[in-house]
Amino acid sequence: MNKNKKIALISGISLVSLLLFYTLLGFFGVPYAIKNVAPKYLKDYNATLFVKEAKFNPFTFELNATNAELNTTLPLFSTKQVDVKLKPFSIFKKLVEVDIFRLQEPNVKILRDKNSKFNFSNFISDDNATTEDNSTSSINFALNNAKIIKGSFSYSDQNLTKPFNVNFDDINYELSSLNTKKNSAGSHIFDSNSTLAHKIDLNGDIKLNPLKIEGNISIKNFSIDPVAISFIDNDTLNLKNAVINLGINYALIADENATNINLKDSFLNVKSLNIDEGKNELSLGELELPKFDLSSKIADKIDAKLESNAINLSDVSFKNAITASLKSLNLNDISLLANLNEKSELNATAALNSINANALKIDETGKNLVNLKDINASNLNANLANNKTNLALEKIAFEGINAPLSKNANANVAGTKISNISFTQDTNKSLATLDELSINGINLKAKNKEILDIADVLTKTIKFDILNMALSAENIDVNRPKFNSELNGSSLSAINQLGLGEQEPAKTANHRTKTKKENTSASKSKESEFKFDIKNINVNNANIALTHLFEGEKIAHKFDNLFVKIANLSSDFSKPFDAKVDMKSSQKLNLDLTSKIKLEPLDITAKIKLEDKNLPKYFAYAKPFLEADLSSGEMSIDAQLHYAKDIKADAKLSVKDIRLDDKNKEKLIAFKSLEVDKISLFKNNLEITGVALNSPFIKAHLSKEREFNLSKIVKEDKNKAQSEQKTESKKAASKKDDELNFSIKNFSLNNGEVDFSDASLFMPFATKISNLNGKLTDIDKKRPSSGEFKGTVGKNGFSQITAKLFPFELKQNTDIKLDFKDIDLIDITPYSGQFLGYKIKKGKLNLNLNYSVVDSKLNGSNLINFDTLTLGEKVDSKDAVNLPLSLAISILSDQNNQINIDLPVEGNLDDPDFKYGGVIWAAVKKLFADITLAPFRFLGNALGLGSKDLSSIDFLAGSSELISSEAPKIADFIKLTTVKPMMKLSITPTYSEIDVLYFKEKRLDQKINQIIASSGKDYITVLNSLVPNAKDKSDKALREEATKAIEVDKEKLVELANERANAVKEALIKAGLETGRININDATSSESKQNTYTSVLMGVAN
């Protein structure tokens, strides 16, 4: 065998041996090493490796292992099968290339115990320090295909406060084309199920030079609970219940010039998010970004653009002291563009197509503050450039706003719309503007009663300068507002029902100090005060309904068809603004007010026209005090007002067709018109000029029960009257120098009428005073007033009243004269019959009454004339006074059938018991007393007969012969009866004790003379014999004792009295008096005069 063959044979055998060894080593050695050698080596690390079966093909370089497990004290790794295929020859290309790497059902379990030790810690040596090698290897690596099929991964951490456990199941991962030589990190596909997420998918590709990473990630139902429980400190932040779904298509490209980051067609969904931080709690039902795109370029300058078709939030709530909840919030078509240049100057724009939100609710400590049904906004644009910010919003609308104001009150707004909002801010200004603000359907209710309702409030062209705190508006229109409330006293029930009227009482202790400080601070901060300027404010077609609770009655007031206009109102109170009020109420109240107002200093100029054609509605305020009804009446006033330092006003007043009816609907008080030409008020001076009261009417009636109708209409409250008297006395005692000076000029009364009737008499009485006209000059504190009034009494009677007085000081100096002429006395027959007991057959009455009051002292004369007064038949009346009318008439009537009486009166008006009627009645009683008790003295004084006593004619005891001193009285009686042709004289025959004594003495002398004549005894002896037992033996005593036993017949005394009366009668007849005018009365006893005379009584026959 030659050498070459030998070499070839040896080489072949070596090659075959080497191949055989390689084959055996590959097919058996490698599996053996895996199954037997490797486990022994791992024992040093307290780890075990078990491989059920291993196969290796040394020719295809494929490795297969099944049921492999790697454990430490706890399970660490297991897989059902491992497949690896290598391309060893690529090493010659300086490339380590793995063609296939595949794991079937791998299971990795990582555990960290309470001592912070991982279950793979055995493989980590503390001495295995690594030295960083910055050298660059020339060997590249390639992995053509790698797969993980149905893998699982679990992690458990027991070292946390709350253990953390997570599992990933059904992990599928595929990597292809990883090649460092080609600068490719390969393509990646990953999906998995987990206890954290239902599904996690990754599909991506990575290239290294230039760096390009792109792909997509999808995470489905990622639960944040396990992470939050284990890794977040629950004492400060509690995050729970969130489930996240995420999908991102990403691309990152980087080179030496720029880095571009792009996200496209990405989405994000977060559900059931709850975050607690102390007392703050945020919950979110769902957050959704259905699609968003991001493109950015990072270089010397940065450009970024973010777009999203929508951001949707639902069931959002925030809880703290204030709790807010929102059912849903939708933001559509969002675009953000930002640019940061080399100077770090940021320019940014943002656009938002629409915003929709609904069911917003805000509460505070269990109390609902506001509810809002819907919010809609559109076309929001924002721009930030060069430190200048611009914000624009085309429109925003709020619908269904509800705000509980208190327990029983709610405010509702149907809708609010704001259009063309803009905001601009730079270093010099900060300005917000809007074209129009519209608030519709404003409604306020309390206790289910509507208090306020406004159809809409429209505000146009609003500007707000934030830096200068200045607000301006072109127009504010408040349309069809309605307000309803009850007014009780001085408070509105609406305020009480709203629960807004209660305020803490003002603290007055430091009021002055606070005021000084406020004034000082106000002057310093005047520049920073809020300022406003509103061109026009219009309240259109307002309706105010007030129900006034007055004395238990509900009085309805309606101020509708009300228009208010205010122009040029601003916070500069030194500038005037215009105000106009126009109202034509359905209750016939019309108001036209035009004014110009300046607040600092206060200066008001106004023109007022007021017309009310329904005055009866106000009479409800008099109902508690008057038993009457105002059936008609209207009023108008035209006034001009100016107020600066003092008030000045001029007005014209007209009141028409006033009619006051009693409870039986009969006219009681009325007048056709009251016209006042001018009412002037300046400072404390009120002057009324040209007052005309036309066709006034008063009906005065006395009922059968003697109730006066005018007094009956007044409902008297005694307690109130007493309190008012006390109040008035206090007011009078505390007069001030600045009290109102009041005057009336040129008052006239035209065509007045008084209708008087009396049904309480035995026959009804009625009369009228008509055609009552008159004038009254100035009613003034400074000068006396004078007036004259004339009228017709009954059919033809005349009346006139003239007066001169100080109206405000009637007790100081007053003169009043009342004249009545030709008053038919037949008309007053019901009164004469009722109170005097006689009808009046005929007669006229004339009165001249003059009264003067000076310093509260009343002096008056009542000149009364009865013309041809003739009494009629007598009337039985229980009310008739016992006055001798016939006697008075006969005494007072002269030869012309005239009765003239001067009835003086006097009194003190300051006397609390003073009553004018009492003074008059006292004078009448004195007159009749004089007539009855001393008629001749009364007549003698009236006729100038001096002080002669004509009440009697004196006679000597036992005599009927006229003595010389009594003869002149006969002539005086003739004079009286001549002047008083209707007067009859009465003679009352009289006797007295001196007449009785006269007859006893006469009988005693006759008896003594008879005894002396028959016995011859002397006078003394006979006298003693008549009274033998008398102790006193004097002549006088014996005669007195003797006369006691003598009786005088009364008939003899009556006979003497009648003889005396006849002697007087005969003397009168002889002097010329008719027999028929002399009446002799029955005889009677009387007192003697001067123990010498017996007086026959003279009188006037009734």
The fraction of the chain above a pLDDT of 70, given in percent, is 81
* 3-class secondary-structure state, position 733: helix
* 3-class secondary-structure state, position 1070: helix
Fill in the amino acid letter for 307. E
Cis link prior to 210 (omega < 30° from 0)?
yes
3-state SS record for 1016-1076: CCCHHHHHHHHCCCCCCCCHHHHHHHHHCCCCCCHHHHHHHHHHHHHHHHHHHHHHCCCHH
DSSP string, 565-590: EEEEEES-TTS-EEEEEEEE-TTSEE
Q: What is the pLDDT of residue 1004?
A: 87
Q: What is the mean pLDDT of residues 363-368?
A: 77
Q: What are 142-186's pLDDT values in tens digits?
A: 888 888 888 888 878 787 767 777 777 788 878 787 777 777 766
Residue 1072 CA to residue 876 CA, distance in Å, equals 38
Q: What are 226-284's pLDDT values in tens digits?
A: 665 555 555 566 666 778 888 888 887 877 778 888 889 888 888 887 777 767 787 88
Considering all CA atoms of the chain, what is the largest pairwise distance in Å, rounded to the nearest integer? 259
Beta bridge partners of 789: 774, 801
Q: Higher pLDDT residue, 887 or 368?
A: 368
Check residue 739 and report its DSSP letter. P
Residue 642 CA to residue 604 CA, distance in Å, equals 5
Q: Is the pLDDT of residue 512 over 50?
A: no
Provide the token pair at 1021: 């002896």
Check residue 957 and report its DSSP letter. T
Pair 975, 985: CB distance under 8 Å: no
Check residue 623 and report its DSSP letter. T
Residue 674 CA to residue 744 CA, distance in Å, equals 14
Q: What is the mean pLDDT of residues 902-920?
A: 65
Pair 527, 537: CB distance under 8 Å: no
Provide the token pair at 501: 């009227």
Pair 987, 1078: CB distance under 8 Å: yes
Residue 889 CA to residue 897 CA, distance in Å, equals 9
Q: Higher pLDDT residue, 590 or 1102?
A: 590
Q: What is the pLDDT of residue 490?
A: 67
Name the residue with tokens 């290598």.
86
Reported as a pLDDT band with limits 50, 70 and 90, residue 715 is confident
Q: What is the pLDDT of residue 525?
A: 47
Fill in the amino acid letter for 444. L
The residue ranges of DSSP E strands in 695-811, in sequence order, are 697-702, 741-758, 765-776, 785-793, 797-805
Check residue 506 and report its DSSP letter. P
Question: Residue 985: how many CA atoms within 13 Å on its side-chain side?
Answer: 26
Residue 536 CA to residue 474 CA, distance in Å, equals 6
Fill in the amino acid letter for 851. Y
Share the mean pLDDT of the chain: 80
Q: What are 15-59's pLDDT values in tens digits?
A: 667 777 767 777 778 888 888 888 888 787 788 888 888 888 887
**Which of 668-672, 723-727, 781-785 is predicted least confidently?**
723-727
Name the residue with tokens 């629950």.
234
Closest to 592 (Cα-Cα) out of 566, 569, 611: 611
CA distances in angstroms from 775 to 669, 754, 803, 896, listed in the order given: 20, 17, 11, 37
Compute the chain's Rg from CA coordinates. 66
Q: Is the pLDDT of residue 832 over 70?
A: no
Q: Is the pLDDT of residue 12 over 60?
A: yes
Check residue 196 and report its DSSP letter. S
Reported as a pLDDT band with limits 50, 70 and 90, residue 931 is low
Buried-exposed string 889-920: b where 16+ CB fall within 10 A, e elsewhere = bbbbbeeebebeeeeebebeeeeeeeeeeeeb
Q: What is the pLDDT of residue 843?
A: 80
H or E element, residue 517: helix 511-524
Q: What is the pLDDT of residue 28?
A: 78
The CB density around residue 726, as the number of other CB atoms within 10 Å, is 10
Phi, psi of 1021 (to 5 degrees): -65, -45
Q: Is the pLDDT of residue 492 over 80?
A: no
Quick one: 1046 exposed, middle or buried, by C-beta within 10 A (0-12, 13-18, 19+)? middle
Name the residue with tokens 């200066």.
603
Provide the token pair at 801: 């009243």
Residue 385 CA to residue 950 CA, distance in Å, equals 132
Residue 695 CA to residue 251 CA, distance in Å, equals 104
Phi, psi of 618 (to 5 degrees): -80, -10
Q: Higher pLDDT residue, 596 or 939?
A: 596
Q: What is the pLDDT of residue 425?
A: 86
Q: What is the pLDDT of residue 132?
A: 47
DSSP string, 199-236: EEEEEEEEEETTEEEEEEEEEEEEE-HHHHHHHS-TTT
Q: What is the pLDDT of residue 479?
A: 94
Q: What is the pLDDT of residue 590?
A: 93
Q: What is the mean pLDDT of residues 103-124?
A: 81
Q: What are 525-563's pLDDT values in tens digits?
A: 455 688 999 999 999 999 998 888 887 778 888 889 999
Reported as a pLDDT band with limits 50, 70 and 90, residue 1057 is very high
Pair 668, 756: CB distance under 8 Å: no
Q: What is the mean pLDDT of residues 784-791?
A: 85
**In 25-142, where does DSSP find H-type helix?**
30-32, 38-43
* 3-class secondary-structure state, position 185: strand
Q: What is the pLDDT of residue 732?
A: 46
Residue 1089 CA to residue 965 CA, distance in Å, equals 14
Q: What is the pLDDT of residue 921?
A: 54
Pair 656, 615: CB distance under 8 Å: no
Q: What is the pLDDT of residue 454?
A: 93
Closest to 98 (Cα-Cα) out of 51, 147, 168: 147
Provide the token pair at 193: 């199920």
Q: Is the pLDDT of residue 1053 over 70?
A: yes
Residue 318 CA to residue 180 CA, distance in Å, equals 52
Residue 629 CA to residue 668 CA, distance in Å, equals 9
Structural domain boundaries in the chain: 779-933, 943-1100
Reported as a pLDDT band with limits 50, 70 and 90, residue 605 is very high
Closest to 412 (Cα-Cα) out of 381, 379, 383, 446: 446
Phi, psi of 166 (to 5 degrees): -145, 145
The residue ranges of DSSP E strands in 825-897, in sequence order, are 838-854, 857-874
Q: What is the pLDDT of residue 649?
A: 92
Pair 441, 412: CB distance under 8 Å: yes
Q: Higher pLDDT residue, 1056 or 165?
A: 1056
Q: What is the pLDDT of residue 1065?
A: 92
Assigned CATH for 943-1100: 3.30.1330.60
Q: At what angle do helices 916-933 and 935-943 cross, to 10 degrees?
A: 100
Residue 495 CA to residue 493 CA, distance in Å, equals 5
Q: Is the pLDDT of residue 424 over 50?
A: yes
Check residue 964 and report its DSSP letter. G
Q: What is the mean pLDDT of residues 1058-1082?
A: 92
CA angle 577, 581, 582 (to 5 degrees): 150
**In 66-208, where does DSSP find H-type helix?**
none
